[in-house]
Structure 1
Amino acid sequence: MNRIGLPIFVLRHLLKRTADNFHCCLFKPETTQLALQKQLFSAFQSSQYFRSFADKSISQWSEVPIIEYKDIQYLISQQISQKNNFFTNEPVQFYEKTSGSRSAAKLIPYTKSLLNSFNNMFCIWAYDIIINAPKLCKGKIYFCVSPQLAEINSNEFGLANDSEYLNPWLRWFLQPFLVSSEGLNRLTDPELFKHELAKRLLLTEDLEIISIWNPTFLKVHLDYIQIHQESLCKELKNSLSKERSQLLLSSEIDWKKMWSHLKIISCWDSAHAASQANYLRSLFPTVMVQGKGLLATEAPMTIPLIKAAGCVPMLTEVFFEFVDEAGKIHLLHELEIGATYEIILSQKGGLYRYKIGDRVRVTHYYLNTPCLEFIGRSAAISDLVGEKLHEDFVKDCLIKLDLKDTFFQSLLPVIEPISHYVLLLDKTQEDSEQMANRFDTLLQEAYHYRQARLLGQLAPIQVLVSSNISDLVVKYQIKAGKKWGDIKHQFILNPVIDIKLIF
């Protein structure tokens, strides 16, 4: 107990039962999922939404239509205006806004049961970290906070920070260990937000855990600290130790020394976020940078477990169906190692057979449950003139391009004056024109892109290099109404936008 400290010892005891129950369920995924399906179907039967499907039994589950958000958007709009719930008997606590990375932002209804699903996910993850990760002491935790820029000004919409996904007793227990986020979510100026968060992080010498979404969120703030080091040092001169002040004023700040107690960074690290997560690993070589698994506004889908060496599905909270490449539907226990599937989920907030648009690959089995790796969105395609560039293909071409030490890589579709693509980079050692030619050649391995280039429908690739490209793109997306902490770095920036709006 002396090694981990009394608070961590108590927390481990409080979380043990939830974690043990989940661990037992990993031995019996079929039984666990069928029991959850019955529970969800019971809630479905008691809803107004169910009445539109006549008199169905659970044996007719496959006849319940698979839906996307656009299919129920009108019902959610009615819910908001009429303050009721079409999907379950549970009252809606609030509506959480998605990041809207590929379409208009969505408002997802949250019930107490759905919030509890997220809380259980955190409990299982925290217990695994306490038991299997580098030993924690009693340092601070930073939970991602996004400024509410362009957000709906109502308490009915959204959470202030990640800690609000937790049950009140857990928030109360963790409160002394959280980096203060008071007031940050109400800031409307992104520069002011970065300034205030930078100060709070710099003042937290005993920071042990950072929990964010996109790795670029942390990089943007580290860059801000480096650029504004003198003004920040002057402002904090009476609060920072002499040693930390000297670190802050270094020509190249040693981040691992700045937060020498840091043990864990939790962030996305798969698909488009893999290179950004690896960059954080290079900045903090002694820190465990752990991927978050697959987590969406709609539901917690997978969770990383250290002993599993991968991400296991939240099989106690979400009923999963998986569509293979031939269109056949499989249940969780039927998945094959190496195969790729699209997820259909049913969760405790009232979304039934919901096509979320995420694709996963089965990496291996842990106990009797398949581990799932997020590999991208199901329809991440850019199609200006019929070229149909898929994000996975663009990612492979960028890997072949071998852009050493480049952090930000995105392909921007542009329609003026003639349709073409611009490769956005934060830095490169290669001549931009030569790189553009190499990249264009790689993209022409895609038949429809090559046809469009040969026919003159697409102009040649251009390359634009700017050291603050990541920050510029983030600022644009914030103005478009996305939450900063939710912004995903994409290999293809969609939808098509005017490049002059970024630069």
Structure 2
Amino acid sequence: MTRSLSSRLGHGLLKTFMQRGLHRFEREAPKLELIQRSLLQKWLHGHTRTVSATRYHLKANDSWEQFANKQPCTTYDSYRKLIELQRSQQNKQLFDSPVSRYQPTSGSTSAIKWIPYTQAFLGELDQAITPWIGDLYRQFPKIAQGSHYWSLSWIPTSLRDASSHELNDDMQLMSLGKRLIAGLTQTAPASIALARTAEDSLFATLAYLAADEHLSVISIWSPTFGLGLLEQLGSCREELIEVLQQGTWGMRAEAMAGLKCPRAHKAAQRLKAWNGVADPAFFAELWPRLALLSAWDTAAASPWAQQLQKLLAHAQFQGKGLWATEGVVSIPLRNHCPLAYRSHVYEFEDLENGQILAPWQLRKGQQVMPLLTTGSGFARYRMNDVLQVSDHWRTLPCFTFLGRNDGSDLVGEKISAALAQSIIDGLSYSGQLPITLLALNDCVRGKPGYVLLVEGPANSNSMSTTALAAQLEHALLKNFHYRLARDLGQLAPAHCICLPNMRQIYLEQSRARGMLEGNIKLEALRHWSGPLPMALRQALEATA
């Protein structure tokens, strides 16, 4: 069977299966409360048969209200020791379901967390990805005319020997049958993640993407990851030309762990005629069938998603819902982002009064944080993401992601991520793009303080950077606690650093702190401990 024929067969079967799930999702949306209560009963039966079940005296027949009264809200630290014990003893500490793998993830300030991906949890994720993809085929029918690239989030190089089986592959979120069918439509094999290093995985991804003129979907999470892929096509151009012409990995052969190398003379010729500068016309020529680009596009990701859309302007765009390694909250559907109500058990904390609400109690305009009870064994797990209830669709609450709830409190100034995002959004930029607001323990002359990182052209003048820093300081001073800390001399004045490669510096530092390639987020506020990279320290000292 030719690749083209197998791809068409895969799309046909996948579309059929996904549409069934989509129709069920839409048909049963008015039964939100009934289905959520039913999912809790199912979860209680799976949890009460485990080692840790006696801690809060939960019973299999507890009601929604009894569960909420008995079970406190939790974080990953509530499960860290149990997960370590479960991994070492291979028993069921948290949930009565076989564990398929432990998925690594990390936050902006936290160490690697290992999330148990049980068969029950994977089934919950499948309940979200099925209607999502079904709606993609309905909204963007041209995606069935080519192959797809769905995000692979590679394990850091330092963890690969110990964790080669923990693949973070979006296709792994489907049921086995759908996964096998979806494999017929994919341009890049999941085994790319098994290459020796993250750099080798990146190069293999570039080779498969460049070789595929039938590519119709690029689905990633972070838009900066997508921008990096397009830029790396230029910087790796000479090596890619040789590899695609020869059909061998050359000096990387040993590192590729037996991965087949694509061969594509036409793609090699296109790369050879290209000057290596990211250009919409070139990408339209390289991927003429590209019909859909999907990535995060809210909060801090917004300006970078716009940049990515400009480079792949011939494709339509769709933003993501809220999906984390620990679980899914919302999916894009019919131009909304409704609750993935068939997946986990959901509750929401009202950030105005701290009240915890069931999903059927939410009202438009509320700002909330989700609590998830999942087949991983997590109960009322705090996601720490701030959402606004933007609308309702067929009784389902729909959400807009506003940012993380992480904050910074270097000396009592109490700067929240939401405040940082609103300040960043309100600044006036001169050809620059914001990366993040850094909270530094040692900003200037030993004092803590805040530094805005922006990316701009190499010829950006110091006056524009100084003006941006002044805007930032003015906005921060509107916060009572920040103003008091400045008046008391506890904080250095706000600064701004502009470099043409700032995004790359940020990503490199995030990887060095153990964050996972492909899932690194640009967040409005980051507290970085330890020394700054030399390039940033020198630029900061030049502005001080």
TM-score by length of 2: 0.85
Q: Work out the CA distance in 1 between the residues paired with 2:19 and 2:201.
A: 37
**What does 1:275-354 align with in structure 2 at a 5 Å threshold?**
275-305=303-333, 307=334, 309-324=335-350, 325-354=352-381
Give the Cα–Cα distance (whole angstroms) in 2 for the partners of residues 185 and 156 of structure 1: 8
Q: Which residue type is aligned with residue 180 of structure 2?
A: W
Tell me which residue corresponds to 1:16.
19
1:59-138 equivalent positions in 2, closer than 5 A: 59=63, 60-62=66-68, 63-138=70-145
Tell me, in whole angstroms, the C-alpha distance in 1 between the residues paired with 2:87 and 2:243. Answer: 44
- Partner residue of 1:425? 454
Once the two structures are TM-superposed, the CA of residue 245 in structure 1 deviates from its matched residue by 3.3
Cα separation, partners in 2 of 1:235 and 1:18, compared to 1, 3 Å: closer
Q: Residues 329-379 of structure 1: CA distance to partner in whole angstroms, max 9, x if unpaired? A: 21111110011111111112211111121221111111111112222222x
Counterpart code for 2:505: L
In structure 2, relative to structure 1, the CA distance for the partners of 1:156 and 1:119 (3 Å cut) is: farther
Contact 2:440 2:527 in 1 (8 A): no
1:167 aligns with 2:175: yes
For 1:188 and 1:162, how far apart are their aligned partners in 2?
21
**Compared CA separation, residues 27 and 368, structure 1 to 2 (3 A):** same
Cα distance in 1, alignment partners of residues 386 and 194 from structure 2: 34
Question: Contact 1:247–1:253 at 8 Å: present in 2 too?
Answer: no
Instruction: Say what the alpha-carbon RMSD is for the aligned residues.
Output: 2.4
Distance in 2, Cα, partners of 1:55 & 1:127: 37
Structure 2 Cα separation of the partners of residues 160 and 353 of structure 1 = 24
CA distance in 1, matches of 2:94, 2:209: 41
1:153 aligned residue: 161
Encode CA deviations 1:190-248: one digit per residue, 9 max, x unaligned.
Answer: 44443332222211111111111111001112122233445544554573428723663
CA contact (8 A) 2:292 2:317 kept: yes
Aligned partner of 2:527 in structure 1 is 494
Secondary structure of the equivalent of 2:391? Answer: strand
2:515 maps to 482
Which moves more between the two structures, 103-112 or 168-177?
168-177
- Structure 1 residues 440, 350: closer, same or farther in 2, change over 3 A? same
SS in 2 for 1:458: coil
Which shifted more, 310-319 or 145-154?
145-154
1:463 to 2:496 alignment: yes
**2:266 matches 1:241:** yes
Per-residue CA deviation, residues 53-93 of structure 1 (Å, 9 max, x unaligned), is: 23645131122122111122111111112111122221222
The answer to whether the 8 Å contact 1:113/1:349 transfers is yes
1:414 aligned partner:
440
Query: Please, which runs of 5 or more residues in structure 2 have no aligned partner?
Result: 1-6, 247-263, 537-544
* Number of equivalences: 498
Rate the CA distance shift 1:240–1:467 in 2: closer, same or farther, 3 A: farther
Residues 247 and 293 of structure 1: is their aligned pair in 2 closer, same or farther, counting only changes over 3 Å?
farther
Please say if residues 210 and 265 of structure 1, whose CA atoms lie closer than 8 Å, have aligned partners that are also in contact.
yes
* Equivalent residue number for residue 360 of structure 1: 387
Distance 1:479 1:48, change over 3 A: same
Which residue of structure 2 aligns with residue 227 of structure 1?
A: 235
What's the CA shift for 1:252? 4.7
- Which secondary structure state, in structure 2, belongs to the residue aligned with residue 415 of structure 1? strand
Q: Which moved further from structure 2: 403-412 or 478-487?
A: 403-412
Contact 1:410–1:424 (CA under 8 A) maintained in structure 2: yes
The letter for the 2-side match of 1:281 is Q
Aligned-pair identity (%): 27
- In 2, the alpha carbon distance for the partners of 1:135 and 1:179 equals 16
* Residue 251 of structure 1: how far off its partner (Å): 4.7
* 1:428-467 alpha-carbon deviations (Å, 9 max, x no partner): 6562222212221121111111222222211122222222
3-state secondary structure, aligned to 1:46: coil
8 Å contact kept, 2:35–2:342: yes
More moved, 390-399 vs 134-143: 134-143
Tell me how far apart the structure 2 counterparts of residues 214 and 314 of structure 1 sit (CA, whole Å).
Answer: 21
Give the drift of 1:494: 2.8
Contact 1:247–1:258 (CA under 8 A) maintained in structure 2: no
Note if contact 1:138-1:177 (Cα within 8 Å) is conserved in structure 2: no
Structure 2 equivalent of residue 403 of structure 1: 429
Greater mean deviation of Cα atoms: 204-213 or 145-154: 145-154
Query: 2:539 — aligned with what?
Result: none
Gaps of 5+ in 1: none
* Corresponding residue for residue 62 of structure 2: 58
Counterparts of 2:113 and 2:165 in 1: how far apart (Å)?
11
Q: Alpha-carbon deviation of 1:189?
A: 4.2
CA distance in 1, matches of 2:175, 2:95: 21
Deviates more, 1:148-157 or 1:7-16: 148-157
Structure-2 change in CA distance of 1:261 and 1:476 (3 Å):
same
Distance 1:298 1:501, change over 3 A: farther
Once residues 278 and 219 of structure 2 are traced to their aligned partners in structure 1, the CA distance between those partners, rounded to angstroms, is 24
Question: Are 2:171 and 2:179, in contact at CA under 8 Å, matched by a contact in 1?
Answer: yes
Deviates more, 1:173-182 or 1:452-461: 173-182
- Give how far 1:420 is off: 2.0
* Secondary structure of the structure 1 residue equivalent to 2:371: strand
CA contact (8 A) 1:93 1:156 kept: no
CA distance in 1, matches of 2:514, 2:72: 31
